[in-house]
């Protein structure tokens, strides 16, 4: 007789949208899109890299920047160290070079698991350096955004990353190089207000929450906003986004765009 202990724990996963159980193997082969309701589950940086770049082509850049606590904010450093241990990431963005269907690009992927994917000094610095590397080496930029916005513990230093990354995106544009920004669930705050919306082509993944003020900020300010306003679908209907894609279309569309720009 089989007992519950015989059933492998990782065989099924519960969809956080429809709460039905989905066969884990099917989820992985379907790029972590719920087979029951089509919900696009949030990905780790490594899952995103796996489904985007040509295998074995990724080379990380600037993965050795130190943790910084510019304002000596209480309990911030232990929080950073904890986020490092939890995510196995040095900060909330992974940057490097990779190939997408043979095209070498500068690739950035944000990690929502690292203090909500928030943008502090290191995140801004890594993204600006990635863009500057793209200018120096004549590569397109592909940036996957996922962020709650500014890093509260870095206050003004965090906000300074908005002009810094915007300036770097401007240098990419002046160099005549394409910048493709992909907005994934969720993209909010200072990231929305800077490099996320500065791409030559702005793509959003279906079902992603996209907006400036996040739901918690809206709750505090008691402003009445219909929930559908802050969705990729609404932003697409109102011309803020160029392409609204299912996850399964993303890699090939990126590759087609890179073909076209080349
Ligand atoms: Zn579902």
Specify the residue for token string 């928030």: 118
The C-alpha angle with vertex 52 and arms to 47 and 56, in degrees rounded to 5, equals 85
Enter the pTM of the model: 0.93
CA–centroid distance, 230 to ligand 1, in Å, is 20
CA–centroid distance, 93 to ligand 1, in Å, is 27
CA–centroid distance, 73 to ligand 1, in Å, is 40
Inter-residue long-range contacts of 5-10, CB under 8 Å, 24+ positions, other chains counted: none
CA–centroid distance, 21 to ligand 1, in Å, is 8
CA–centroid distance, 65 to ligand 1, in Å, is 38
Domain(s) labelled CATH 3.90.226.10 in the chain stretch across 42-261
CA–centroid distance, 18 to ligand 1, in Å, is 4
CA–centroid distance, 140 to ligand 1, in Å, is 35
* pLDDT per residue of the chain (262 residues) written in tens, 0 to 9: 445 556 566 789 999 999 999 999 999 899 999 999 999 999 999 999 999 999 999 999 999 999 999 999 999 999 999 999 999 999 999 999 999 999 999 999 999 999 999 999 999 999 999 999 999 999 999 999 999 999 999 999 999 999 999 999 999 999 999 999 999 999 999 999 999 999 999 999 999 999 988 777 788 888 888 878 899 999 999 999 999 999 999 999 999 999 999 9
- What is the CATH architecture assignment of 42-261? Alpha-Beta Complex (3.90)
Is residue 112 within 8 A of residue 145, CB to CB? The reply is: no
Taking alpha carbons only, the member of 178, 188, 115, 114 closest to residue 145 is 188
Which letter does DSSP use for residue 197 in this model?
G
Distance CA(148)–CA(144), nearest Å, equals 14
Measured CA to CA in angstroms, residue 96 lies from 21, 82, 134, 254 at distances of 36, 24, 10, 17
CA–centroid distance, 213 to ligand 1, in Å, is 26
CA–centroid distance, 101 to ligand 1, in Å, is 30
Rg over CA atoms, the chain:
19
CA–centroid distance, 208 to ligand 1, in Å, is 14
Distance CA(152)–CA(116), nearest Å, equals 11
CA–centroid distance, 125 to ligand 1, in Å, is 37
Strands (E), 63-164: 93-100, 103-110, 141-147
CA–centroid distance, 40 to ligand 1, in Å, is 8
SS3 call for 26: helix
Distance CA(222)–CA(95), nearest Å, equals 37
């Amino acid at each position: 007789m089989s007992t519950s202990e015989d059933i492998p724990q990782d065989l099924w996963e519960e969809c956080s949208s429809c709460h039905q159980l989905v066969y884990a193997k099917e989820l992985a082969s379907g790029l972590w899109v719920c087979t029951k309701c089509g919900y696009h589950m949030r990905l780790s940086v490594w899952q995103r890299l796996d489904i985007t770049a040509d295998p074995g082509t990724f080379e990380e850049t600037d993965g050795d920047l130190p943790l910084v606590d510019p304002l000596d904010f209480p309990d911030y450093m232990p929080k950073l160290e904890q986020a490092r241990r939890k995510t196995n990431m040095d900060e909330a963005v992974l940057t490097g070079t990779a190939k997408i269907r043979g095209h070498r690009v500068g690739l950035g992927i944000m990690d929502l698991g690292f203090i909500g994917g928030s943008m502090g000094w290191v995140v801004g610095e890594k993204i600006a350096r990635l863009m500057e590397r793209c200018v120096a080496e004549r590569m397109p930029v592909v940036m996957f955004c996922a962020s709650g916005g500014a890093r509260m513990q870095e206050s003004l230093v965090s906000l300074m990353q908005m002009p810094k990354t915007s300036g770097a995106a401007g240098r990419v544009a002046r160099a005549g190089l394409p910048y493709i920004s992909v907005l994934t669930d969720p993209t909010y705050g200072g990231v929305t207000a800077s490099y996320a919306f500065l791409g030559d082509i702005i793509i959003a993944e279906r079902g992603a929450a996209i907006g400036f003020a996040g739901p918690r900020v809206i709750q505090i300010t008691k402003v009445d906003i219909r929930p559908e306003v802050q969705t990729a679908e609404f932003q697409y209907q109102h011309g803020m986004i160029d392409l609204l894609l299912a996850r399964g279309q993303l890699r090939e569309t990126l590759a087609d765009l890179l073909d076209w720009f080349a």
